[in-house]
Structure 1
C-alpha cells in the first residue's frame, strides 16, 4: 500500500470540455447573482460566501493546469447551487418543507420523517461528502499515483479533514461575531452535537461516493 508522486502518469477519469466548464461557471455566477438579492441576512450571506469565493478564486486559474472532468464540474456546480440556496435563506431557514408541501398536495416532509429541526444543513453536509469526494479524488489522483487502500482512503480522509476545518471555521466565526449573526452562521439549532453530526454525515457521503468513483475510474 503506497502512494507516489507523479505529474502525468495517473489516468484522468472522464472527459473534460472547456466550453462545458465555462457554461457551468456562467450558470453558477447567474445563480449567485440572483440569490444575492435580498438574502435573509446580508451579514450571514457574506460569511457563507467567503469560502465559496475563495474556492472559485482557486478553481478558475487552476483549470488550465488541471482541467476537471465534465462530471467533476457538474458535481461542483450542483453543490455550489445548493450552498447558495442555503446562504440566501440562511441554512436553518431554507423552506424545503413548504416547497415539498406545494408539490405534494400539502404534505409535510418534516412530519413524514419526524424531523424536529430544519434538515437542510444536514443534507448539504452529506452532499458535500457525496459530491465533492469524486472531485477531490480526481484532483489527487492526477497529482499522485494512488494504489491499494490509499486509492480509497486518501480522498475520504481529505473530505473528512476539510469537514473538520469547516466546523472549526464556523466555531471561530461564531465566537468572533457572537450574537444573532454568530448563531445564524453556526446553525446548531440548539443541538450541542451539531458539529459532530455534520462531520459524520460528510464522512458517510464520502464513503458512499468513493467506491463509485473507483468503479468508474476502473472502467476508463
Structure 2
C-alpha cells in the first residue's frame, strides 16, 4: 500500500478519534459507527488487494469525515449547518441530505475502481457502478431503520434523523442518486482509468 494512502487513513483515524470524544448522544454515536467499524477495515483490505487511486481514498476520507461529524452532533442537530439552514429558510437541518448526496458523489469512484476490471466497456462499468451506489444507499436506509428498532428504539428520531419528514429515506436515496449521476458527466475521465 502506498505511503500516501497510509497518511490518508491516519488522518481519518485522528479525525474519527477527535469526534469520538464526548458526542452529543453516546448511543446514537455508537449506532452511527457500527458500519464504520466494519467498512473502514474493509476499505483498507480492498485497497491492499485492488489498489485504489489516491483520488478515491481522498474522496472516501472526505465522506467518512463528514459522516463522523454527523455522528458526533447527530445529523439532525449538526450545529455547523444551522447557518445554511437559516440562510435558505429550510424547515429542517439538511446536513444528512448533503452527506447522502456526497456518498453518491464521492464513493462512486472507489466503487468504479472495484467493478471496472471485470467489465469490458466503460459505459457498462459506469452503469453498474451507478446501480451499486443506489443499492448501497437504499440498503443503508433499511439497515438504519432496523438498527433503530432493534438496538435502541428509544432513540428513534434522533438516530434516524427524519426530523418529522415521512419521506426522509426516499429523499436521502434520491440525494445519493443525484450525487452518483454527476459522476456520469465525467465519462471521459473514467474511461482513462482503465483501457476498455
Question: Which TM-score band applies after superposition, normalised by the shorter structure?
Answer: over 0.9
**Superposition map of 1:1-220 within 5 A:** 18-97=2-81, 108-142=83-117, 144-147=118-121, 149-176=123-150, 177-179=152-154, 181-212=155-186, 214-219=187-192
- TM-score, normalised to structure 1, is 0.82
Output one character per residue of 1:104-153: Cα deviation in whole Å (capped at 9) or x when no partner: xxxx42233121100100000000000011111111113x1242641331
Structure 1: runs of 5 or more not aligned: 1-16, 99-107
Greater fraction helix: 2
- TM-score, normalised to structure 2, is 0.92
Please tell me whether Structure 1 or Structure 2 has the larger radius of gyration of its CA atoms.
Answer: 1
C-alpha distance in structure 2 between counterparts of 1:202 and 1:88, whole Å = 21
C-alpha distance in structure 2 between counterparts of 1:210 and 1:63, whole Å = 23
C-alpha distance in structure 2 between counterparts of 1:137 and 1:211, whole Å = 14
3-state SS, counterpart of residue 190 of structure 1: coil
Relative to structure 1, the CA distance from residue 82 to residue 175 in structure 2 (aligned partners, 3 Å threshold; closer, same or farther) is: same
Structure 2: runs of 5 or more not aligned: none
Question: Deviating runs (4+, > 4 A) in structure 1?
Answer: none
Aligned residues: 192
Q: Taking CA–CA contacts closer than 8 Å with sequence separation of 6 or more, which of the two structures ends up with the larger relative contact order?
A: 1
Instruction: Compute the displacement of 1:42 (Å).
Output: 0.8
